[in-house]
Homo-oligomer: A and B are copies of this chain.
């Protein structure tokens, strides 16, 4: 596949401690697939400066796009913006354009733009802002790294702001065949078809439903006609 590649970095102790179930990975994965961008790797790290810097530098060198979620709020544990700046060796401080957005937003609600809230205007030099229509404090893109909030509805709004600015690829299509047979029965014909249709990707996902074994067979690729051909053959060989 010639589609662009991507990685995601989820930042937050609340995911690693089991307090919060991550929702952003699932959302981003779906949006990238629609845009024809192939998500190849996700990492989750804690609110730790060195861990964030190391992960960002590993991922931004290996993939075309990197998306982060979490750690850009006003509290002491929100250290992502400074860690991203450090990873790039970029200067970071409160930036006038971001400050103006926050000042207008808080003035409207009669809320003080205090020192803590001003932290959300810390954006590295050279970064492009990512709009946040929900709570205004912007995300940003620096190089190929896109830095977004962790709160799911804000993350989703930022992804929606960002996606039109990215270069996608051919949409990644998939078709699913659900069969009420265990994986062990259909593994051989599936492997044979996967070898024959080497331009497509074949996945097999078992489930147990009402005590019976079943399998979802998923074929992925970018050529709809090839997908149709593979699916027709697959259905003839494994459906019952």
Tell whether A184 pairs with B74 under 8 Å between CB atoms, given A19-B174, A39-B16, A40-B46: yes
| Distance between Cα atoms of A151 and B207 in the complex (Å) | 7
Residues of B within 8 A of A111 (CB): 182, 184
Residues of B within 8 A of A115 (CB): 188
Tell whether A220 pairs with B25 under 8 Å between CB atoms, given A44-B42, A75-B204: no
Tell whether A76 pairs with B41 under 8 Å between CB atoms, given A19-B174, A26-B18, A29-B18: no
Tell whether A74 pairs with B17 under 8 Å between CB atoms, given A206-B151, A207-B151: no
Contact size range, A? 35 or more
Q: Mark A175-219, 1 if CB is under 8 A from B, else 0.
A: 000000011111110110010000001111111100001000010
Chain B: CB-nearest residue to A117: B184
| Distance between Cα atoms of A52 and B30 in the complex (Å) | 22
| Distance between Cα atoms of A6 and B119 in the complex (Å) | 32
Would you give the shortest CB distance from A136 to chain B, in whole angstroms? 11
Would you give the shortest CB distance from A92 to chain B, in whole angstroms? 18
Would you give the shortest CB distance from A54 to chain B, in whole angstroms? 10
Q: Are B116 and A187 in contact (CB under 8 A)?
A: yes
Partner of A33 from B17, B32, B40 at Cβ < 8 Å? B17
Tell whether A183 pairs with B116 under 8 Å between CB atoms, given A17-B33, A18-B29, A43-B42: yes
Whether A153 is near chain B, meaning CB under 8 Å from some CB there, is yes
Can you sample 17 A-B contacts with CB below 8 Å? A10-B42, A13-B203, A15-B25, A16-B40, A17-B39, A17-B174, A21-B26, A22-B26, A25-B44, A40-B46, A41-B51, A76-B190, A76-B191, A76-B202, A77-B204, A111-B182, A135-B213
Q: Which 7 A-B pairs have the closest CB atoms?
A: A116-B187, A18-B29, A18-B30, A76-B191, A42-B44, A117-B184, A75-B204
Instruction: Mark A residues whose CB is within 8 Å of B.
Output: 10, 13-22, 25-33, 38-47, 51, 73-78, 111, 114-117, 119-120, 134-135, 151, 153, 172, 174, 182-188, 190-191, 194, 201-208, 213, 218, 220
